[in-house]
Structure formats: structure tokens, C-alpha cells
């Protein structure tokens, strides 16, 4: 019989082929959910499709419910990959593909491990459920729908962040700002596809090249008559300083005498720490660190600006304070809140200690301090849930960037960690039952 790693990779090979992001021009976000539920049904799971956004697969028919929320959607691949982004590729050291870390790889591990431990799960009289979302990267409406309609697990974790355990996640706001502004020399400007990614490309079309005689093109290239292009470096929107925002790079090439009011307001957000310092949103938090603001999407067309911001903040700010401050800085723009998520904090308990110690068995040399992070996961919607792996501290995964990859040894170790973690939760749920 094939090893569990081989079986996980066989499933991943199929999952990675789905271009499951909203601007892909496909229906793959829905198609991958249908494929997955059908796959699980054939494998002996109980399955339910809640709607086109979310579904679940479960082993066990009675007893306390353990849940593992995972997501099957990804962010757009961006440019510059050296391997096909929607294909499982490997070399001597790594597995590659969009979603290998975030989050298809861990989801496949959990599915095959639950299947492997089916007899034990049923013997202990508990239920184990994988919850499959498809909009985690674009607002998490999928998991919100699950919470409204379905049973909440008593125990579980989200395999979509960092080891040894994530006890807190920043609050998050997805904001859209629009402004009518006639700029005679500018025809259009575009950058970014998804608000929670640092855009690695920005494009600009001007009405006539003569208007650009004093522009700074040291980091900008011509891409056709009156067309100009800037490249950046992609990164996760929760860590905008880890990337280079192509929109800022292109906007800063424009000479001061050509800067419109709208452009000047946008450039207020371009600070070294991307923390909103110029507009009064830099409020460092002991656990979470400082505020971050990612300019994820920028468009100018038909004399109108549309920008979308991903703002992440700690306990020193509230949603209302963030919105008020942004509106003051963009005083003549229309502001709309697209999505919001409050801060998520979990107190350590015995179960979390067991999970941390489980990680330590496989990585005794790694730092054991629990993490408070800017990234957001499904854990925020499940009281008491933590995020648990798969990323190791100080290891670059290139999730949300090009050539997303997982080291093969780490891949194998992560399977072992999740296998033991699953057992820990099954026995904890059994004790709760009794």
C-alpha cells in the first residue's frame, strides 16, 4: 500500500490543479469543493455541502465533535514563477505549487490522517470533521455561513499559520475608498488583484508621453506607447514590509508638479513600516506589534480612483477608530467597509500545552513561545481555537509569493505532528464525553 505521504501528494496533485481564486476566470472555487466532497464520500466520510461556499466531511456518527477548518482557495499566482504554479512540482529538496502551504497541503494531510485513524476515532466514540471553505482569502464569508448554519466543534484547530501555536490574531478591516478626480494626463492606473497580497505589478497609461518628460523612470519601464510598468515583490498582506508594493513604486515615479490630490493622499500610506504613522494609525501593541496597512488594489479609470486597503491592528485600536482615522485622511473620498474581523485571543490551557509539547517532540530546538500575529485564519470564528502550524518560525514559505514551496523533510515531519495532535484531540474529546 502507498505511504501516507504518497497518498497526500496524489490528492494534492489534483487540488493544486484547481485555480481556486476569484479572478482566475474559472469556476474552480466551486468546482474544487464539489470535487473534494465527492472524493470524501467515496472514501467513506459523511459529507454535507452547506452551499456553494462551504461543506464538510466527517468520520464518526456520534459523540463530541472535533473540527478542523481548512480552506481550498488560494491567492492569485502573480508573475515570475520558475515552476508552473498550478501543478505539483518537486526537486531534490522541495514540493512546489500555489497552496502547498496555504492551505491545500495541510488540508490534504488532515484528510488522509483522519482516514488513516478512522478505526480509532470510531472506537473512542467521537466525531472528527474537516470543514472546507473556499473564500478564506477574500473575506471568509464561507466560514461565517458555516457558523450560522452548522454545529460548532468542542475542540479543534486550524492548520493554517505557525507552530508551536497561534494564540492571537489581529483585528482586520478590508476597506474600499473611491474618489472622482479628473487628471488630464492620466488615462488609467491598475495594480493588485487581491487586497491581502502586496501587488508585484502596477501599470499606467498616460494620454501622451510628452507629459512624462520629468518622470523618474529609474525603477519603471515602458511597456508600449504611453504605457508604463513597475515591478515589486509579492508578500502576504499582513506583512507588507516583507514585499515591495509596485503601486507605490509607480506612483512615486510621478514628479511632484503632476501629483493630484488623490495621489498625494494615497502616498500618505507609504511609510517604511507600512504602519499608518503619517495618518495617526501607528499604535503598537505589546502582543501584536504595530498596525499594518496594505494597499492591495489600486485602480484609476474613467476619472475615478478605487483603492482597497487591508488594515490589521491590535488591542490599542478599535474598528471605529480605524475607520474614523482613514476617513479623516481621505476626507473627500467615499469609504466602504467590505469586511471586518475582530481581534482573536485565546488563553493557554492544558490542551494547548499538550499540542505545544507535541510539536516540541519533533522540533526540540525550535522556539516554544506562542505566537500573536497579524495574519487572519478561520480560528477567529471558533471560540477557543488556535492556529497550529504548518509554518516553522524563520522559515520562508513564499505563500502569497512566487514559487510557494515546502521542504520535503518539513512535509514529512508535519504529517507526524498532525497525526499525534489528532490523537490528542480525540482522547480529550472522549474525556469530555465521559
SS3 of 328-364: HHCCCCEEEEEEEECCEECCCCHHHHHHHHHHHHHCC
4-16 helix and 104-116 helix, angle to the nearest 10 degrees? 140
Cβ-contact 248, 295 below 8 angstroms? yes
Under 8 Å CB-to-CB from 78, ≥6 apart: which residues?
A: 197, 200, 201, 234, 401, 402
The whole-number pLDDT of residue 210 equals: 61
pLDDT of residue 225: 76
Q: Which of 385, 371, 401 is nearest to 198 (CA)?
A: 401
Per-residue b or e along 297-309, where b marks 16 or more CB atoms closer than 10 Å to that residue's CB: bbbbeeeebbbbb
- For residue 346, list its beta bridge partners: none
Q: What pLDDT is attached to residue 223?
A: 75
Closest CA to 217 of 206, 209, 228, 204: 228
Which pLDDT score, from 0 to 100, does residue 220 have?
Answer: 80
Q: Would you write out the chain's pLDDT as a tens digit for each of its 434 residues?
A: 789 999 999 999 999 999 999 999 999 999 999 999 999 999 999 999 999 999 999 999 999 999 999 999 999 998 889 999 999 999 999 999 999 999 999 999 999 999 999 999 999 999 999 999 999 999 899 999 999 999 999 999 999 999 999 999 999 999 999 999 999 899 999 999 989 999 999 999 988 766 666 676 777 887 777 888 999 999 889 999 999 999 999 999 888 888 999 999 999 999 999 999 999 999 998 889 999 999 999 999 999 999 999 999 998 999 999 999 999 999 999 999 998 888 999 998 999 999 999 999 999 987 778 889 988 899 999 999 999 999 998 888 988 889 999 999 999 999 999 999 999 999 999 887 65
Say what the pTM is. Answer: 0.85
The neighbour count for residue 171, using CB atoms within 10 Å, is 23
* Per-residue pLDDT, 222: 77
Cβ atoms of 136 and 145 within 8 Å: the answer is no
189 neighbors 285 (Cβ within 8 angstroms): no
- What per-residue confidence (pLDDT) applies to 361? 94
User: Is the bond into 390 cis (omega within 30 degrees of 0)?
Assistant: yes
CA contacts within 13 A on the Cβ side of 144 = 9
Pairwise CA distance, residues 296 & 193, whole Å? 7
User: 137 and 73 in contact (C-beta within 8 Å)?
Assistant: yes
Residues whose CB falls within 8 Å of the CB of residue 90, separated by 6 or more in sequence, listed in order: 96, 408
Q: In whole angstroms, what is the distance from residue 351 CA to residue 295 CA? A: 38
pLDDT at 240: 95
DSSP 197: B
Q: How far apart are CA 5 and CA 3, in angstroms?
A: 5
Residue 337 CA to its chain's centroid (Å): 19
The domains found in the chain, sorted by start residue, are 4-169+344-433 (3.40.630.10), 171-341 (3.30.70.360)
Q: Report which of 253, 250, 255 is spatially closest to residue 295, judged by C-alpha positions.
A: 250
CA-closest candidate to residue 388, choices 399, 401, 373: 373
Residue 318: per-residue pLDDT: 93
Residue 404 DSSP one-character state:
-
Amino acid at each position: 500500500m502507498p505511504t501516507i505521504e504518497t497518498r497526500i501528494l496524489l490528492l494534492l496533485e489534483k487540488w493544486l490543479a484547481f485555480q481556486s481564486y476569484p479572478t482566475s476566470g474559472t469556476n474552480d472555487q466551486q468546482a474544487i469543493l464539489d470535487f473534494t466532497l465527492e472524493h470524501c464520500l467515496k472514501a467513506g466520510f459523511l459529507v454535507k455541502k452547506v452551499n456553494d461556499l462551504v461543506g464538510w466531511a466527517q468520520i464518526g456518527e456520534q459523540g463530541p465533535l472535533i473540527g478542523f477548518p481548512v480552506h481550498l482557495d488560494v491567492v492569485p499566482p502573480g508573475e515570475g514563477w520558475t515552476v508552473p504554479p498550478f501543478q505539483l512540482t518537486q526537486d531534490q529538496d522541495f514540493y512546489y505549487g500555489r497552496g502547498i502551504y496555504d492551505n491545500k497541503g495541510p488540508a490534504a494531510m488532515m484528510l488522509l490522517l483522519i482516514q488513516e485513524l478512522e478505526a480509532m476515532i470510531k472506537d473512542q466514540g467521537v466525531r472528527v470533521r474537516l470543514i472546507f471553505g473556499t473564500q478564506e482569502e477574500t473575506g471568509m464569508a464561507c466560514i461565517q455561513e458555516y457558523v450560522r448554519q452548522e454545529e460548532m466543534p468542542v475542540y479543534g484547530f486550524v492548520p493554517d499559520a505557525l507552530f508551536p501555536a497561534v494564540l492571537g490574531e489581529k483585528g482586520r478591516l478590508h476597506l474600499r475608498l473611491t474618489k472622482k478626480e479628473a487628471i488630464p494626463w492620466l488615462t488609467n492606473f491598475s495594480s493588485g488583484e487581491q487586497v491581502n497580497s502586496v501587488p508585484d505589478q502596477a501599470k499606467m497609461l498616460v494620454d501622451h508621453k510628452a507629459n512624462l518628460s520629468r518622470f523618474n523612470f529609474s525603477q519603471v519601464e515602458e511597456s508600449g506607447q504611453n504605457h508604463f510598468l513597475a515591478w515589486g515583490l509579492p508578500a502576504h498582506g499582513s506583512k507588507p514590509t516583507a514585499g515591495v508594493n509596485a503601486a507605490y513604486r509607480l506612483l512615486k515615479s510621478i514628479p511632484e508638479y503632476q501629483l493630484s490630490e488623490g495621489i498625494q493622499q494615497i502616498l500618505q500610506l507609504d511609510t517604511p513600516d507600512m504602519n499608518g504613522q503619517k495618518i495617526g494609525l501607528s499604535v503598537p501593541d505589546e502582543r501584536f506589534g504595530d498596525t499594518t496597512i496594505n494597499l492591495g488594489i489600486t485602480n484609476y479609470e474613467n476619472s475615478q480612483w478605487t483603492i482597497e486597503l487591508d488594515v490589521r491592528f491590535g488591542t490599542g485600536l478599535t474598528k471605529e477608530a480605524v475607520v474614523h482615522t482613514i476617513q479623516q485622511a481621505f476626507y473627500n473620498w467615499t469609504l466602504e467597509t467590505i469586511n471586518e474581523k475582530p481581534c482573536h485571543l485565546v488563553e493557554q490551557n492544558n490542551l494547548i500545552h499538550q499540542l505545544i509539547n507535541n510539536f516540541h517532540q519533533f522540533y526540540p530546538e525550535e522556539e516554544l513561545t506562542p505566537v500573536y500575529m497579524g495574519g487572519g485564519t478561520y480560528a477567529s470564528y471558533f471560540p477557543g481555537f488556535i492556529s497550529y502550524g504548518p509554518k516553522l518560525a524563520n522559515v520562508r514559505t513564499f505563500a502569497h509569493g512566487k514559487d510557494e514551496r515546502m521542504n520535503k523533510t518539513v512535509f514529512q515531519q508535519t504529517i507526524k505532528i498532525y497525526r499525534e495532535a489528532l490523537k490528542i484531540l480525540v482522547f480529550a474529546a472522549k474525556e469530555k464525553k465521559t
